Amino acid sequence: MSTNDPGPKHVPVMLQRCMDALAPAISRPGAVVVDATLGLGGHSEALLTQFPDVRLVAVDRDPAALKLSGERLARFGDRATLVHAVYDEIPEVLERLDIPKVDGILFDLGVSSMQLDEADRGFAYAQDAPLDMRMDQTRGISAAEVLNTYSHGQLARILKVYGEERFAGKIASVILREREKEPFTNSARLVDLVRNAIPAATRRTGGNPAKRTFQALRIEVNGELEVLDRAIPGALDVLTLGGRIVVMSYQSLEDRLVKQYLVAGATSTAPPGLPFVPEEHQPWLKLITRGAEQATEEEIEENRRAAPVRLRVAERIRDRSTRG
């Protein structure tokens, strides 16, 4: 997502690809676009600049991001409305703003670059910091609380499911043993613990062995998959006919969930063999991307955080009101 520098060097992930994907839906006068993951406002700034007639509604759960992006987008005046909310709350946000439907929605999932780059947030395993990991530090439990209070079964489950960690049970056992000696507070100790818990042969490949554990904790602390599971259908419900949704996922669990919703909407629900497909069984989404698109070498060169991205785009082509 966006970087810490809002100046000329700031390159949001796959920026122009996202603009081009949304363009057919938001180039019309009076179009409304939602930036579901505002961050530092890089994508939002491009939307407001490249589409001078568009109205933007941008949400973020992180008050620090809202403050910084608010300064960045101030010059656009009332064309930009910034709201402190989680992206599964978009339908409610739009209802409060008296906006029944929108023409485009952009999701740039995962942790923002600002959160990664600020050491004291505890998201990055490369630097020692308090184990917080909350995207909104005004609510919820921290990663340290998860490590210090969850049972062995709970820890093993989130490491296995959210981190896709092969050694989840072993790491959970070590966490329980070590927290008896001293509660977890900082990331460096956890990084060392995970590294020592994983067999040496496994440590030699795949980057930092703590990566999967940190991902799992972050997803658990912020309820990311549960939120996303509500957010995608909610976003599709507020998309107008001809409107487009653009989603960038950074790990397979997110992408799988997004794919399920978009493919389901683009698939007929009619029993096979019917001579014609009744309206209520016809697809109501059209997939614009074939599968998930990845960043080009040039896009990765511009922003290395684009490397793992999977981009999916769909367009609403039919009303769902007649579907059962």
Angle, helices 152-161/211-222, rounded to nearest 10 degrees:
110
Residue corresponding to tokens 């614009």: 288
At a CB cut-off of 8 Å and minimum separation 6, what does 167 contact? 197, 198, 199, 202
42 is in an annotated binding site: yes
223 is in an annotated binding site: no
232/92 Cα distance (integer angstroms)? 14
273 is in an annotated binding site: no
179/131 Cα distance (integer angstroms)? 14
Q: What is the DSSP string of 128-189?
A: --BS---SSTTSS--HHHHHHHS-HHHHHHHHHHTT--TTHHHHHHHHHHHHHHS---BHHH
* Secondary element (H or E) of residue 190: helix 187-197
**Binding-site sequence positions for S-adenosyl-L-methionine:** 41-43, 60, 87, 108, 115
Binding site: what residues are annotated? 41-43, 60, 87, 108, 115
